[in-house]
Chains A and B, each alone.
Chain A
């Protein structure tokens, strides 16, 4: 395991007392963000996001499936994240650890609970056949702040995803024999079409170390963080998801400060996201 030398921790804390961060950023400033979409042609949607040196690839795959019994006319979405050993000397191969599971679930909730994917428009035959949307997140370079990079990559992948009518045409046509409803669906959607989405919330993560709160933690800041807060906000500045992590605590005041910084940065990131997906 990589160890953080205690003198480095002391140095970062001292800098913070003078309002500085090791890489010269302001406390409420993000690192440089790069978003590239349509990088995996086999996927229905895909994106590569870099925040500083942290790099994440997300892919969206779709397939036909059965609806859940309690939502018979809705499509289904799942999110999985892999902290592959490529990304850090400390990641091991094997089944996902809690970090990967928490990451996937937080990103998933941000998308699911904000109804980003219009799942009611993903029904082909009510109670029988719906579209399943799989979001797979691959962390390939870990330099701090996986939550925001993973979330952003997932959103960019979703916003450029196309429902794969053409790839699954044979299966759909076969389905027509059993369910005449499918013909209506295919008439409405003869070719690949954009995945139906609503405007996505953007997540911003902050950490606190020795009383200082910074947004978009770089690796060295994350290594000494006592507590972490991720806040996802929408285009109106409303809060759509939150997650506190690690075993430290926040004061109510601090939470409000984090929310403000998240709203401000969320706005800027949203603009960049829209630009990169061609909106």
Chain B
């Protein structure tokens, strides 16, 4: 099969005509023509022309799992940074604890990290997150790194293939937030390996056959250790 390069497009690049295609994400229409609006990778799917962003802040979507960092406890809510253009609000009603008015710092404080879910994004882009779900909690232990949110799909891999590889060869617990924040916990060497490998995936995210390449590297390192 012919390995074509993934096509990179830039803002204002002409991608097609509304006659034959539909304008998808990352595009805009002017005078019946479809143009790219961001720097990204061209992707055609079911007659839609999409541009998948290569860079840029996290664009919150309801139900996304994200890792947030608490900025400020307020009277009955917390302000949480989720690496979006705006901070998100976490209301006391959206946490699994019974929080008294004004006692928010007892539960979450400046610098605490949380595994959260995007609850709502309104017209004015006001964001709300929630901790009320299984698998959502205040994070303890481990460490955190940040990657470009656009690289998250690559790091997770098709059906989680890439992330499973990482977990297998390093014995670490890893959680990838859609907002580009990744939590890692394990022994020192394992964590180091995960961080190095993720950096490599970030750098070569557009390459084909990356999953195999990474698997080879991880296998080799595991052999060397033995």
Contact = CB atoms under 8 A, between A and B. Distances in A.
B183 to A, nearest CB: 8
Interface string B208-220: 0000000000000
Contacts of A6: 111-113
Interface in B106-151: 110-113, 139-144
Interface in A19-67: 20, 24
B179 to A, nearest CB: 13
B113 A11 contact: no
A170 interface: no
Interface in B54-106: 69, 71, 81
Nearest to B184: A11
Interface string B158-196: 000000000000000000000000010000100110000
Contact of B113 (A5, A15, A20): A5
Contact of B140 (A4, A7, A15, A24): A7
Interface residues of A, number: 13
Q: How large is the interface on B (under 10, 10 to 19, 20 to 34, 35 or more residues)?
A: 10 to 19
A10 interface: yes
A251 interface: no
Contact of A7 (B110, B139, B188): B139
Contacts of B142: 7, 11
A24 B191 CA distance: 12
Given A10-B141, A11-B142, A4 B111 contact: yes
A121 interface: no
A18 interface: yes
A8 interface: yes
A62 to B, nearest CB: 42
B141 A7 contact: yes
A5 B111 contact: yes
Contact of B144 (A5, A18, A20, A24): A5
B107 to A, nearest CB: 14
A9 B110 CA distance: 13
B188 A3 contact: no
Given A18-B188, A20-B188, A3 B71 contact: yes
Contacts of B188: 15, 18, 20
B81 A7 contact: no
- Chain B interface secondary structure, helix, strand, loop or mixed? mixed
Contacts of A11: 142-143, 191
A259 to B, nearest CB: 30
A145 B23 CA distance: 47
A8 B144 contact: yes
Contacts of A5: 69, 111-113, 144
B177 to A, nearest CB: 12
A18 B189 CA distance: 12
B196 to A, nearest CB: 10
A100 B140 CA distance: 36
A18 B191 CA distance: 14
B181 to A, nearest CB: 9
A3 B143 contact: no
A4 B112 CA distance: 9
Nearest to B192: A24
A7 B111 CA distance: 8
Contacts of B139: 7
A10 B144 CA distance: 11
A6 B114 CA distance: 11
Nearest to B71: A3
Contacts of A20: 188
B187 to A, nearest CB: 11
Nearest to A2: B81
B141 A3 contact: no
Contacts of A8: 143-144
A11 B191 CA distance: 10
Which 6 A/B pairs are nearest by Cβ-Cβ distance?
A11-B143, A6-B111, A5-B113, A5-B69, A3-B69, A5-B144
5 contacts: A4-B111, A5-B69, A5-B111, A7-B113, A7-B139
